[in-house]
């Protein structure tokens, strides 16, 4: 059964089958948790990632949900994440520095 939502003063119908919206940063985290290098499809992946506010709860949940075998499959991407965190710390852009500090928290 459709439900009525109020968003920004407007009413719209939403169905239970619609997927909830995900933040762009969450979508990017999901790319890290695949076996593909996320920067293959987007050369600026890492620069863009550190400009977005960290969703630490989601990132920690994804990491905690992995078993050892799954972690080994994506270890290259996890290593890249931390390598790019370290690189971002040396940048002059303060937002990137702050966000890079929060990731390995």
Instruction: Classify 22 as helix, strand or coil.
Output: coil
Give strand ranges (E) for the chain: 3-7, 10-14
Total domains, the chain: 1
CA end-to-end span of the chain, whole Å? 42
Is 90 inside a domain boundary? yes
Is 47 inside a domain boundary? yes
Is 41 inside a domain boundary? yes
List beta partners, residue 12.
Answer: 5
Is 10 inside a domain boundary? no
Is 3 inside a domain boundary? no
Is 53 inside a domain boundary? yes
Is 11 inside a domain boundary? no
pLDDT by residue for the chain (105 residues), tens digit each? 445 444 455 555 555 566 778 889 999 999 999 999 999 999 999 999 999 999 999 999 999 999 999 999 999 999 999 999 999 999 999 999 999 999 876
Domain that includes residue 61, residue range: 24-101
| DSSP one-letter string for 64-92 | HH--HHHHHHTHHHHHHHHHHHHHHHTSS
Question: Is this structure's pTM higher than 0.95?
Answer: no
Is 2 inside a domain boundary? no
Residue of 74, 99, 95 whose CA lies nearest to 85: 99
């Amino acid at each position: 059964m459709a439900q009525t939502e109020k968003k920004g003063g407007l009413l719209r119908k939403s169905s239970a089958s619609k997927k909830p919206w995900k933040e762009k940063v969450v979508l990017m985290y999901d790319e890290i948790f695949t076996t593909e290098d996320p920067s293959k499809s987007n050369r600026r992946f890492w620069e863009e990632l550190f400009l977005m506010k960290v969703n630490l709860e989601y990132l920690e949940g994804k990491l905690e949900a992995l078993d050892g075998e799954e972690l080994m499959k994506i270890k290259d991407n996890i290593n890249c994440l931390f390598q790019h965190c370290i690189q971002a710390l040396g940048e002059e852009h303060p937002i990137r520095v702050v966000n890079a500090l929060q990731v390995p928290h």
